[in-house]
Each structure stands twice: as structure tokens, then as C-alpha cells.
Chains A and B, each alone.
Chain A
Amino acid sequence: MRSHAMLRENAMGWLWISPWIVGFLAFLLVPMVLSFYYSFTDYPLMEPPLWVGMGNYLRMFGDDKFISSAGRTLVYAALAVPLSTVVALVIAGLLSTRVRLAGIYQAAVFIPTLVPMAASGMVWLWLFNAQYGFINLLLAKVGIQGPGWFTDARPAWSMASILIVGLWGVGQAVVVYVAAMHEVPGSLYEAADLDGMGPVRKFLNVTLPMISPVILLNVVTLLIGAVQLFTVPFIVRAATPGGQTSTMTFYSVYMFDNAFVYGQMGYACAMAWVQLVVVLILTGLTFLASKKLVHYRGA
């Protein structure tokens, strides 16, 4: 009787979580397993997959565009993650002090993250316009001739443009950091005051260690986002035909091209799996490095 009730209870449990399970199987697990299989095939979508073994993975070593897009993406990640983290921390540090209208400033910093990247990408295209753009207009006011930004022949400028656009989305991290900073016990700051610490030392020696778990979480999230960078480069490339747009071919853009433009889904799937492995390795390395840097309260 009791086992029958338990069975019934179990069945009800499975039934209640079944929408999630069905969704997980249909939209995540099965596509992942299939994509892993496709990564070992030549799959032009309109023809059945043809087994090519490790062919797609080996092809990457001789594919100039794969190498250049992967390198460009790693450089971006290496620059964007620390830059965004530092900028977010500095803004959060300023906003967590007793400043008037702090809520409004926080909202102002956060609101840009609500704008879809496709829309903000179009706005940034005009802000960075070499001739009529607001940024070059400001630079001209102080006697500096602005670069071509996204379409500049010098790749450093197109990279700088993408990095600056990336900072546009820093608001989410700022809000999280501000919340974490408010959780730091006041007694620690009082002790720091007694030790004669100034605001900068307090920030470095008290605030940062106390919020380091939150920083770690944000760094990992940023890292994953940076390796998957897609929307803005994709829009810029489409909007500037004839321009120096090879610098906008980041890893995910090239993966998209292979999957949906060139009809090489097998190769694109292999690229996706390599991307996943790289993300896992980088995340693992970040966690390893964090062992000495992250301070868990009560640990």
C-alpha cells in the first residue's frame, strides 16, 4: 500500500517536471548529441551527413580563417574580461559610496544592458562613424582626427571599437558588485579606519577580498560571453560592405558562416565543440587561479 503511494508520488513528481525534461531533451541534450555526431561528418544540410572521421577537426589546423578568427577572439577575451571587470568595479566602487541619487546613477548604468545588442550595435555604428560620428566629433573638438574605428585599416582600432561597445553592457556586473559591496560588514571598514587606511587601500584590502567570490562569478560569465562574441561584429560586417570587415570575423561569426551561409554544418559543429572545450579549459584555469585569490567568508 505504502509502496503504491510512493510510486504514485514519484509518478506525479516526474509528471510535474516533465515539461522541463521534454524541453531539455528536445532542445538541449538531443541537439548536443547530434551536433557531436555531425562534427565527424560532412553535412551540407540538404544532403545526408557523410562520415569524415576527424576530418573537420584536422581541417581547422590548415584553415587560415579559423586560425585568425580564433586568435582574434582570444585576444578580445584577454582584453575585454579584465577591462570590463576593472571598469565595473570602479563604477560600483563609486556608486556604493554615499553619493546622492545613487539609485539614478545605478539605473543609468544598468539601462543599456536592457537594450538588445542588435539595436545598440546599429547605434554604435553611427557613434563610430568616421565622418559624422559623435565620437570623432568630440575628438575633433580637441584637435584630434579620429580613426575609422570599425572600418579602420588598422586592426587595433576595430578591436578597440568592439571593446568599447562591450563596455556598454557592463551595467549588469556593476549592479551585482554594488549589491556585494553593501554586504561587506561595516566592522571591517571600522577596523580599517583604526588601522589608518585611506579609501583606496580599504577598497583594495577590504572590499575586493570580501567580494572576490562575486568577482569570480562575473569573470567566468564575462569570459564565456567574450569567447562567444557574435552580435556586434556580425552587424558591423553586414552594414559595411567593401570595408575592412575581415577584422569583424570573430570565432562565432565564422562558425555561423559555415553553418548557415556555406552549408557546412559538420564543420560548424566541430567548431562549436572546440569552442566548448576552450571555454571549459579557460573556466577551469580561472577557477584554479582563483584558489589563492578568492576569499570565501567562513572558509
Chain B
Amino acid sequence: MSVPDDTRPTHAALRFTRRAAIGAMVAGGAGFALFGPRGAKEASGGRIVLDYWEKWTGHEGRAMQGVIDRFNDSQSRIFVRYLVTAGVDQKAMIAISGGNPPDVVGLYNYNVPGFAETGGILPLDGFDSALVPRQEQYAAGVWPILRHPDSSGVERTWAVPNTGGTLAMYYNRSAFREAGLDPDRPPRTIGELDEMSRKLDVIDGDGTIRRAGFLHTEPGWWSWVWGYHYGGRLYDRPSNTASFDAPQNLRAYEWLASTSARLGPPRVETFKSGFANAYSSALNGLLDGKVAMVMQGPWLANVIAAFKPDLDYAVAPVPVSDELLDPASPIGLVESDILVIPRGVRHPEASMEFIAYTQRQDVSETLARAHFKNSVMTQISAEFVRDHPNRGIGVHNAIAKSPRGFLAPRSRDWLQLKQILDDGVPQIWNHTIQAPTQLAAMNRQAQAVLDRSLDVTRRRHGAAPGKGVAR
């Protein structure tokens, strides 16, 4: 006789358990659908909520949050929500393609061609004319950043500058004095730079480098700019032609190779590894006294203030080849962080209202000062210069306004072209390949990228988007 197993659930109990489980799943799903995470598009009080994706964290993020707070307090219709987003351009691209973009995005200046040509962002010149940015508002070097042809070739305005940055040379005045150089007389030409570098180099008897006068690879973020300081260009937009191996570029990269040859490529790599990953720290090459002169943007002054406020430094334009010297019109890279309105936003007018607010001179200058950066505007207030924490702000402003300021090539393929240079230039620096051979090889690669891209664009749009803003 079998004994009933009381521990086994009855059919009725099983049914109940199943129903309860299914009910719980359905209720959970419904609850998630109804109340789950989503972009709340209305704040209390019926205000439109705008999501603003930006790359800045820490000090820079707090400064931007200050601007947003002032905007939110200045009116009662729109509320902007600041969301820090790493890899903001990549994530914006995916969000736009997925049809769920943020309302405003803070991109990099070189993103404009790609986002504009693919229609990923809205042209600003279709908005209320009182809010649309105008050429006369902006420094000469900044305005072309905001412009690009759309897919039909019509030149339009796509962005507003958020904060600007121009490249200049930061140098250690104490090191100049130690080397018997005049700290008020920085090098102006490449020849002078080489001569002073030799005097500033400190090298032990066994070849160990203690201090380098100047290193092209510190910090190594702009391996592509050197040709511009010899009058060269990398890309001609009207003809869609790469010119990496132009004679001016060849001179520039032979100069680069000569610097590493003087110091010894293996020794300089060992030396540089001590501070290569240490930009935002006390181990930064300039701050730690390892390098006497570096090419950097105005944000370096922020690092100096944070980690070595007593550093005796000054700022000058990056030297150029002898024949290009014109102190009244400095040559330097002009960059800018930009604000754009993605395609598919629900309240484009509200987005425009916010980004137009950031273009008020007082707002723009407040943010630029907090970031230690130069102004992007034509008009600069006396207070901005007087109270600015970056002692080289005059130099940065002058480069932004200079007719000889230059931009990253205005091509949607720029990041591919840049990667070709980032991969190839170190081989010139290390003397693995001679400059003429490497530049020719890189030019072939770059031209192949450009040709393929143009071919696809023609198939897509019937003709290539208009050219014309290469500078």
C-alpha cells in the first residue's frame, strides 16, 4: 500500500502557481511598458524638457551646468537636462539613426561635414532669423566650422560654437632662463625653435634624456598639423584631392624626423613613456619639467592651475617656417566644440532657443573663461581678457581671429584620413620609413578613401555635395 506523498503539489495548486506566475509576468510587463524608464518630455508645470548630451565632466561639466541653470531660470517654457555622454559623437550617430535622438548634442567641430551631409542634424538657417547665428558674430576662424554644404550642395549653417580652442605653444619660462634664453622671446620660426630646443635639451652622457626642448609627440594629439606651419594643406575640397605628399608637408615631416634623429628615436620613446598617459596630472610633460615647449590648446592652463599653479609659463603662437612669419597674422589650428540639433527632435524650436541663448556674449564668455578657453566671438569684452585665468588668452584669441587660422580638413572622411596619419607619422618619427616614401604611401591610402566616398555619394545623391569651405 503506497503512502500518499503530501509534499507533492496538487493539480489545483500547480494551476494556481502557474496563473500567479503568468499574472506576475504580465503585470510586470504592463507596468514596465506604462511606467518604465523613458525620456520624460514634460517637467512639472508643463515645461518642455530638452535632453542635452555633452562630453564634459568635472569642472567643465559643472561650468556648462551653470549655463543651463541660468537658462532654465531665465524663462518658464523650457527645461534643459544635462546628460554627460562619453563617446558623444558615436552615440549621437546611433541615437539619430534609431530615431530617438537627444534634443541638443555637443559635438566636435570635425563632426559637422559627416552629420550635415547625411542629414543627421538640422540646418539652423531655417529657424527664426533672430536666433540664427550670423557670420559677423564669430571670429574669422570659427565661422567656417559652422558651415557646410548639405547633400544637395547648398552651403548652410549647422551648428553654434560652444567653446573654442586654438593651438599655441606653451613654454616653461624657468627652463628658458636656465638655458640662458630670454623668457620673453619665444621662438617664432621653426629655425629658432630648433636652435632653442637644442639649448633646452638636457641629455646625460649615456644619452638618457632628462629634458627635451620640444617634442612633436607631446602630447601627440595632432600628428597632422605640422605641414600647415610650412604653408601646406592636406586636402583640397573642390577637387576632392589629398595632398599629404605636397612639398610643404614633406619639409614639415622631414623636420619632425630630424628632431627625433637628434634625440635618438628609442631613447625619446623611453623618455616619453614616462609622461605619455599623464596629460591631466602633475606628471604632464610641461608641468613636470620634462619638456620645455609644447603645442597645446588653452585647456592646458586649466591643468596647470589644478596641478602646478606656480609654473612660470607663457604662451606664443606655434612657430612657422621662416618665409611665413607674420606676427600680425599667426598661423594655428582653430577648433571648437559645437552644439547641434539632431534630426527627429520633438521640439526643434525649443532646442534652437536654448542654443541661441548660449551664443549671448556674456554667456559664451562665462563658459569660455570657466574652461580657460578663448572666445569664439568677434566682439570680446575687456573683462573677458582682464579676468581670464589663462595668461595666454590673447594669443589664443588672436589665432581664432587670424585669417591664417586653419581647420581640420572639411571632409566627412576626415577621421579616416586622420587615422592614416596617426598610424603613419610615428613611422617617420621612429625612422622606420623615410618621410617621402611614407607621405606618398599615406597619400595613396587617403586618396583611395576619398575616391570611394565620392563614388558612393554620387550613387546616393546623383552628384557630390558641394565643395568649397576648405581653408
Q: Which residues of A are in contact with B by a Cβ distance under 8 Å?
A: 12, 15, 42, 44-47, 50, 52, 59, 62, 64-65, 125, 129-133, 148, 151-153, 239-246, 249, 257, 260-263
Q: Which residues of B are in contact with A by a Cβ distance under 8 Å?
A: 18, 22, 87, 90, 93-94, 96-97, 114-115, 118-120, 216-221, 223, 265-266, 269-274, 276-277, 343, 412-413, 415-416, 419, 422-424, 426-427, 429-430, 432, 445, 448, 452, 456, 459-460
Partner pick for B269 among A42, A148, A249, CB 8 A cutoff: A148
A261 engages B415 (CB within 8 Å)? yes
Given that A241-B220, A242-B426, A243-B220 are known contacts, is A131 also in contact with B271, CB under 8 Å in the complex? yes
Given that A130-B270, A151-B276, A152-B269 are known contacts, is A249 also in contact with B423, CB under 8 Å in the complex? yes
Give every chain B residue within 8 A of A241 (Cβ-Cβ): 219-221, 422
Partner pick for B426 among A45, A62, A243, CB 8 A cutoff: A243
B269–chain A nearest beta-carbon distance, Å: 5
B456 engages A132 (CB within 8 Å)? no
B430 engages A240 (CB within 8 Å)? no
Complex Cα gap A151–B415 (Å)? 22
A73–chain B nearest beta-carbon distance, Å: 16
Complex Cα gap A45–B422 (Å)? 25
* 10 pairs from A and B in contact (CB 8 Å cutoff): A46-B119, A47-B119, A47-B460, A52-B459, A129-B274, A131-B273, A153-B430, A242-B218, A242-B429, A246-B427
Give every chain B residue within 8 A of A153 (Cβ-Cβ): 265-266, 269, 426-427, 430, 432
A50 engages B114 (CB within 8 Å)? no
B214–chain A nearest beta-carbon distance, Å: 13
B223 engages A15 (CB within 8 Å)? no
B416 engages A12 (CB within 8 Å)? no
Given A151-B276, A153-B426, 18 other A-B contacts at CB below 8 A? A46-B343, A47-B118, A50-B459, A64-B445, A65-B445, A129-B273, A130-B269, A131-B271, A132-B273, A148-B270, A151-B269, A239-B276, A243-B426, A244-B426, A246-B426, A260-B94, A261-B90, A261-B415
Closest to B91 in A: A260
Give every chain B residue within 8 A of A243 (Cβ-Cβ): 217, 220, 269, 276, 426
Complex Cα gap A219–B100 (Å)? 42
Give every chain B residue within 8 A of A151 (Cβ-Cβ): 269, 273, 276
- Total A-B residue contacts, Cβ distance less than 8 Å: 115
A246 engages B93 (CB within 8 Å)? no
Give every chain A residue within 8 A of B430 (Cβ-Cβ): 153, 244
A45–chain B nearest beta-carbon distance, Å: 4
Give every chain B residue within 8 A of A50 (Cβ-Cβ): 456, 459-460
Complex Cα gap A125–B415 (Å)? 25
Give every chain A residue within 8 A of B120 (Cβ-Cβ): 46
Which 8 pairs across A and B sit closest by C-beta, in order of nearness? A242-B220, A246-B423, A46-B120, A131-B274, A153-B430, A130-B273, A242-B217, A46-B118
Closest to A122 in B: B277
B276 engages A45 (CB within 8 Å)? no
Complex Cα gap A47–B116 (Å)? 11
Which of A46, A52, A59, A130 is most buried by chain B, counting CB atoms within 10 A of its CB?
A46
Closest to A129 in B: B273
A15 engages B22 (CB within 8 Å)? yes
A155–chain B nearest beta-carbon distance, Å: 9
A13–chain B nearest beta-carbon distance, Å: 12
Give every chain A residue within 8 A of B460 (Cβ-Cβ): 42, 47, 50
B343–chain A nearest beta-carbon distance, Å: 8
B221 engages A242 (CB within 8 Å)? yes
A12 engages B18 (CB within 8 Å)? yes
Complex Cα gap A52–B265 (Å)? 45
A131 engages B270 (CB within 8 Å)? yes
Complex Cα gap A239–B273 (Å)? 11
Complex Cα gap A44–B273 (Å)? 37
Give every chain A residue within 8 A of B419 (Cβ-Cβ): 257, 261
Which of B22, B265, B277, B415 is most buried by chain A, counting CB atoms within 10 A of its CB?
B277
Complex Cα gap A152–B448 (Å)? 29
Complex Cα gap A59–B455 (Å)? 13
A239–chain B nearest beta-carbon distance, Å: 5
A148 engages B90 (CB within 8 Å)? no
Given that A15-B22, A46-B115, A153-B432 are known contacts, is A239 also in contact with B277, CB under 8 Å in the complex? yes
Partner pick for A263 among B118, B218, B423, CB 8 A cutoff: B118
A263 engages B93 (CB within 8 Å)? yes
Give every chain A residue within 8 A of B427 (Cβ-Cβ): 153, 244, 246
Which of B217, B270, B459 is most buried by chain A, counting CB atoms within 10 A of its CB?
B270
Give every chain A residue within 8 A of B456 (Cβ-Cβ): 42, 50, 52
Give every chain A residue within 8 A of B271 (Cβ-Cβ): 131
B94 engages A148 (CB within 8 Å)? no
A3–chain B nearest beta-carbon distance, Å: 19
